[in-house]
């Protein structure tokens, strides 16, 4: 069984890049593994619907 790997391009400003590199260094993971961990733990909220009154 083969697994397909997907690529993701991310644009970061210097401050975001610095924070990502610090997270990766602190966890001992590569940048790509750190991003994957962040994605897995992320929670998205639904867009609130505007209720006309």
pLDDT tens per residue, range 12-35: 999 999 999 999 999 999 999 999
Task: Decide if pLDDT at 53 tops 80.
Answer: no
Task: Decide if pLDDT at 50 tops 90.
Answer: no
- State the SS3 of 1-53: CCCCCCCCCCCCCHHHHHHHHHHHHHHCCCHHHHHHHHHHHCCCCCCCCCCCC
Domain edges within the chain:
14-41
Average pLDDT value for residue range 40-45: 85
Task: Decide if pLDDT at 39 tops 70.
Answer: yes
């Amino acid at each position: 069984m083969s697994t397909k790997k997907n690529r993701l391009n991310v644009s970061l400003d210097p401050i975001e890049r610095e924070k990502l590199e610090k997270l990766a260094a602190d966890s001992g993971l590569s940048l790509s593994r750190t991003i994957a961990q962040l994605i897995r733990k992320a929670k998205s909220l639904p867009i609130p619907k505007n209720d006309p009154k």
